[in-house]
């Protein structure tokens, strides 16, 4: 390959995008591990449910799309709160609030609970300040009875708050566009690490 070919390759959009993604992965991977490891370590130490599946997509969204309004601290906290409340309301409506989970043998009430929970969550998230897609997993965790008592739901929100603080510190330490609460003005949703720019 000639020097001219090398120069053309370096200018190619795909080549530049690949070079951008490599450094991004270099810090995204360890930060994601730290942001989930700390709540998990506290859960282990305190013997409390401070780590659960929907924290994963919350961390991914904030680290790979920090400029997206759905990833900001306000939407993260309020989105999970709305989702947890929707899940618990579904349990109350179907009289399952005190029933332990049985994922292998769901009955009609459990089917109704998950349907009601997700429907309420979608309704609640129509407001822009509540839109946080990972909350869709939170509401199912509650509606399935995996976390269903008031104490467990308090632990759930404490874990969300801790994770949000970690995400603020992580993004701010790298000087990435991530607000302390909510973006100023109207922020357009973006996937700033995944999207390839020409």
Q: Rounded to an integer, what distance in angstroms lies between the CA atom of residue 185 and that of residue 81?
A: 23
- The token pair that represents 145 in the structure block: 């009875």
Per-residue pLDDT of the chain (198 residues; tens, 9 = 90+): 455 444 444 454 444 444 455 566 788 899 999 999 999 999 999 999 999 999 999 999 999 999 999 999 999 999 999 999 999 999 999 999 999 999 999 999 999 999 999 999 999 998 888 999 999 999 999 999 999 999 999 999 999 999 999 999 999 998 888 999 999 865 444 444 434 334
Residues in the chain: 198
Residue 56's pLDDT is 97
Residues 6+ positions from 168 with CB-CB distance below 8 Å: 73, 178, 180
Cα 185 off chain centre by: 22
User: What is the DSSP secondary structure assignment for residue 75, as one 8-state letter?
Assistant: H
Residue 75's pLDDT is 97
The secondary structure of the chain in percent helix, strand, coil, rounded to multiples of 5, reads 65, 0, 35
Q: Rounded to an integer, what distance in angstroms lies between the CA atom of residue 140 and that of residue 133?
A: 12
User: What is the DSSP secondary structure assignment for residue 62, as one 8-state letter?
Assistant: H
Residue 24's pLDDT is 67
Contact 161, 38 (CB under 8 A): no
User: What is the DSSP secondary structure assignment for residue 70, as one 8-state letter?
Assistant: G
Residue 93's pLDDT is 97
Q: How many helices (H) and strands (E) does the chain have?
A: 7, 0
Residue 9's pLDDT is 43
Q: Rounded to an integer, what distance in angstroms lies between the CA atom of residue 138 and that of residue 142?
A: 6
């Amino acid at each position: 390959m000639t020097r001219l070919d090398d120069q053309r390759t370096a200018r190619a959009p795909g080549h530049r995008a690949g070079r951008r993604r490599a450094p991004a992965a270099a810090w995204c991977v360890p930060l994601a591990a730290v942001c989930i490891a700390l709540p998990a370590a506290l859960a282990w130490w305190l013997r409390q449910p401070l780590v659960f599946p929907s924290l994963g997509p919350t961390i991914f969204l904030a680290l790979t799309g920090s400029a997206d309004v759905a990833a900001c601290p306000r939407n993260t906290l309020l989105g999970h709160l709305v989702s947890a409340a929707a899940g618990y309301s579904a349990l109350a409506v179907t009289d399952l609030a005190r029933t332990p989970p049985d994922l292998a043998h769901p009955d009609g009430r459990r089917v109704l609970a998950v349907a009601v929970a997700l429907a309420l969550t979608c309704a609640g998230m129509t407001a822009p300040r509540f839109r946080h897609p990972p909350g869709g997993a939170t509401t199912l965790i509650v509606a399935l009875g995996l976390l269903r008592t008031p104490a467990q739901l308090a632990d759930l929100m404490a874990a969300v708050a801790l994770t949000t603080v970690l995400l603020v510190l992580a993004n701010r330490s790298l000087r990435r566009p991530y607000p302390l609460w909510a973006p100023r003005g109207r922020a357009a949703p973006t996937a700033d690490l995944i999207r390839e720019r020409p």
